[in-house]
Chains A and B, each alone.
Chain A
């Protein structure tokens, strides 16, 4: 009798474990078997997978137009910072940017940091002597969205933008751990004292939430271009458009030019492409 009960309970315990494990296992196995790793395959696979048939916004940064013009990079970054009320947090002692607390949506960094998986040995003078623009990749398979415990970051179904809901974020910073591009910043303290002038059309953030580039979703809704694109409109250095529409300008440039993505091997299918 005692033995029977013991063995029954053992089975009950194992069943309970299976019950807990099953949804997790089901979710893990539902990922496409072969997430395309090759950059040139990336956008094709995205268009063909049919996961998001509608609009999928992407960006193409033609770095050739930035080489030798660091002022253009700064113009782009300043435009974004101004439009989104991004604080400029400086170290109180040195007066330089505060590496620990800073907030970055789009910023510049050397090639070796922007493309850590590419060889930076014997790189050309152009590559070594210029900084590169980096921002959120608005991935088709975003790791940050996968890990968020509250759906505070999510993919907008109608345009593929990886968006943030600051009202819901609990500040666990799991998305910052998951993002392979370092695109996310956390508000370690109240950002307002570090904003010199407000854009009245956009909120600031509060302390304790994560933020990042939103592809200027709020500007797109008003029929405007993203702020970074607009800042260097004359040069055409940044092209923005629908990756799923072969007629779009971005798709035509992609079809013509050799482009790369940042760390495509992570299977995130980034939507930002570079000509270097």
Chain B
């Protein structure tokens, strides 16, 4: 079916070419980092994780978000999502590919990465994260490809594939739970040491993933004559709203626990993220604008969706607006604030702010471009197959 991705309009090829340029740029920057060392990043001794790991964390969520399409369809037999599940699976494939690239970009000795398999260590959450991520990737490749092939041949998918479909549902939950466990099991990182980390990750994932899929749906409607259907879009918006509200609620709970208990360790990160943390006469606040932007975009996204529900309108512009606001809000919240906020106060209570370097940013852009490249090709295949079947 891969040949389906090789036929397209000039716009399609132009878009892929643009992505390829960005990928080449990212690769060049990565080679620089590979040859010199991680010193080319903005990370340092006191703030040893940065942009790479925070985006890895966010993208695991995007991958898990496809669950919101797969679960209603396969468990609740909600037929309306029938045309969308494949999009969820293909997005998961692309997002996990990006996750794995971000991890490889982040480790100091990438050529030794297989040590994780040669010396498996079950007490490390990173080991389990690798297991579930690779597992979920494999499951999605199997399910997505087999089901799409069956659709192309206009036959029912083979029965055995449903086993993998159902296994992929708990796997989707597990990838983000284990990713949260990377953070929430570390003794001295107060902001992360919270039992609500995993639930919060899942809530934001279930909003961010479907939001991205809806944006893709509108784009494909315009350029590829793919219609997800009004009811499906409407239902997905409901799901996104609930997930975003639950995520906001969890964040509020973090605020309550921190400020009401008045335990300094719990307050520091929130103070730094939202108001600026004062220490020795210097105020550290480089993330404050981003975090408030995240808050504003979260509520603005919810407002757009509420308006659509109350007035019962559904235009593509509003869908994209609401989804983009929600997605960006959650990106800033989890893909930036969560990791960096948790690290700003070092174990020795020294405060170090993080500024990514240009090299690091371009590597990240390259990885995002690779992800979009993959998702474009996979969606192109999926949509072309659907068109052929309809004709």
Contact = CB atoms under 8 A, between A and B. Distances in A.
Interface of A: 5-6, 9-10, 12-14, 16-17, 20-21, 23-24, 27, 99-104, 109, 112-114, 116, 134, 143, 146-152, 168-174, 176-182, 185-190, 207-210, 263, 266-268
Given A13-B170, A20-B174, A146-B124, A182 B109 contact: no
Contacts of A13: 166-167, 169-170
B80 to A, nearest CB: 18
Contact of A147 (B108, B125, B162, B349): B125
B348 A114 contact: yes
A209 B48 CA distance: 12
Interface in B25-63: 36-39, 41, 43-46, 48-49
A180 B345 CA distance: 12
A152 B108 CA distance: 13
Contacts of A208: 37-38, 107-109
Contact of A150 (B46, B119, B170): B119
9 contacts: A12-B163, A12-B167, A143-B186, A152-B115, A168-B115, A177-B186, A177-B189, A178-B186, A189-B37
A5 B37 contact: no
Contacts of B253: none
B75 interface: yes
Nearest to B38: A188
Contacts of B124: 146-149, 174
B252 to A, nearest CB: 26
Contacts of B75: 10
Contacts of A23: 122
Contacts of A185: 45
Contact of B119 (A20, A101, A168): A168
B347 A181 contact: yes
Interface in B155-196: 159, 162-163, 165-167, 169-171, 173-174, 182, 185-189
Nearest to B131: A20
A147 B49 contact: no
A101 B39 contact: yes
B135 to A, nearest CB: 8
B352 interface: yes
Nearest to B169: A13
Contact of A101 (B45, B122, B185, B189): B45
Contact of B121 (A6, A150, A181): A150
User: Across chains A and B, which 8 residue pairs bring their CB atoms closest together, nearest first?
Assistant: A171-B108, A208-B108, A100-B44, A180-B188, A17-B170, A188-B39, A189-B39, A13-B166
Interface in B103-152: 103, 106-110, 112-113, 115-116, 118-119, 121-128, 130-132
A58 to B, nearest CB: 20
Contacts, number: 173
A16 B170 contact: yes
Contact of A9 (B108, B118, B162): B162
Nearest to B135: A20
Interface of B: 36-39, 41, 43-46, 48-49, 75, 77, 103, 106-110, 112-113, 115-116, 118-119, 121-128, 130-132, 159, 162-163, 165-167, 169-171, 173-174, 182, 185-189, 346-350, 352
B157 to A, nearest CB: 13
A24 B41 CA distance: 33
B39 to A, nearest CB: 4
Contacts of A207: 37-39, 108
Contacts of B41: 188
Given A5-B159, A99-B45, A172 B106 contact: yes
Contacts of A263: 188, 347
A268 B45 contact: no
Contacts of B122: 23-24, 27
A100 B353 CA distance: 11
B170 to A, nearest CB: 3
Given A187-B37, A209-B108, A150 B123 contact: no
A267 B128 contact: no
A148 B115 CA distance: 11
Given A116-B349, A150-B115, A9 B48 contact: no
Contacts of B49: 173, 177
Given A9-B166, A16-B170, A177-B48, A172 B107 contact: yes
A109 to B, nearest CB: 6
Contact of A151 (B108, B121, B132, B169): B121
A183 to B, nearest CB: 9
A120 to B, nearest CB: 10
A29 to B, nearest CB: 13
Nearest to B36: A189
Contacts of A172: 103, 106-108, 126
